Amino acid sequence: VAKPEWIDVERWLTDTVVKPGPEHERALRTAVERGMPPIEVQPTSGKLLALLVRISGARRVLEIGTLAGFSSIWMGQALPEGGHLDTLEYLPEHAGVARENLAAAGLADRVTVHVGAALDTLPSLSGPYDLVFIDADKQNNVAYLEWAVRLGRPGTVVVLDNAVWEGTLLDPAQDEANAPSIVSALELLGGSLFDATVVQTAGSKGWDGFALGVVRAQDDG
């Protein structure tokens, strides 16, 4: 649960440092208007995703979990000329709102929204992707990480949202639906396939964190 001071600090950081544009505000507003859950990344994290795309020089980005397109807009805007983002969304209503928001942001050509369960749409994609952002149904986190390796290359950046989940990783029985899969995903990120870390966050979305890693080369001990 978000403490009021976390929300106040996040708002100050957002206004002072991140400075979202009207296209970001639109994505947040339309999500509320269309009755979608307020589960997009916080603006400070959206900007972080944009910076990761820029810093890594990513040209091909894959996102699993679109919602209203808030994080897609941040990453899409950070792509270089000729870059492309594929974003996967299960619910057609969410995908429709996201397409409207992406078009309003001038990103219709640079971002493709694929509708369907990600495990059904992932096999139709071909890599290599330079950056993969995972933010959908937590139960499939491990499968999504395995797909990130399959569709990635050594050095592909992988970001996994909701990596701390109010600390339930220490006691997964607190949320049997999600916490065990988050723990399994973190164990996979801590293994030989990835070089990774987790940054804890506290803000409007409560106490959480994101995992950040790169796919290792097989001889990259």
Q: Is 203 helix (H, G, I), strand (E, B) or coil?
A: strand
Residue 25 CA to residue 12 CA, distance in Å, equals 16
Whether residue 92 has a cis bond before it, omega within 30° of 0: no
Of the CA atoms within 13 Å of residue 164, those in its CB half-sphere come to 17
Three-class secondary structure of residue 190 per DSSP: coil
Query: Which 123-182 residues touch ligand SAM, going by CB under 6 A?
Result: 135-137
* C-alpha–C-alpha distance, residues 198 and 140, integer Å: 19
In the bound state with ligand SAM, the residue whose beta carbon lies nearer, of 73 and 215, is 73
Total number of residues that touch ligand SAM (CB under 6 A):
18
Could you count the other beta carbons within 10 Å of the beta carbon of residue 74?
A: 28
Segment interacting with ligand SAM, rule: CB under 6 A, options 13-21, 61-69, 148-156, 185-193: 61-69
**H or E stretch at 84:** strand 84-89
Nearer to ligand SAM, 92 or 191 (CB): 92
**Measured from the CB atom, is 93 or 176 closer to ligand SAM?**
93
Q: Does 89 participate in binding ligand SAM (rule CB under 6 A)?
A: yes
Which listed residue (20, 53, 70, 194) binds ligand SAM by CB under 6 A? 70
Using CB under 6 A, pick the residue from 10, 23, 40, 208 that binds ligand SAM.
40
Residues 6+ apart with CB under 8 A from 148: 62, 129, 132, 134, 156, 158, 215
Q: Is 110 in the site for ligand SAM (CB under 6 A)?
A: no
Smallest distance, ligand SAM to C-beta of residue 167, A: 19
Q: Which residues pair with 214 in a beta bridge?
A: 157, 195
| Single residue of 2, 7, 13, 39 touching ligand SAM by CB under 6 A | 39
Q: Measured from the CB atom, is 134 or 149 closer to ligand SAM?
A: 134
Shortest spacing between CB 99 and ligand SAM, in angstroms = 13
Q: Given the rule CB under 6 A, which residues bind ligand SAM?
A: 39-41, 65-67, 70-71, 88-91, 94, 117-118, 135-137
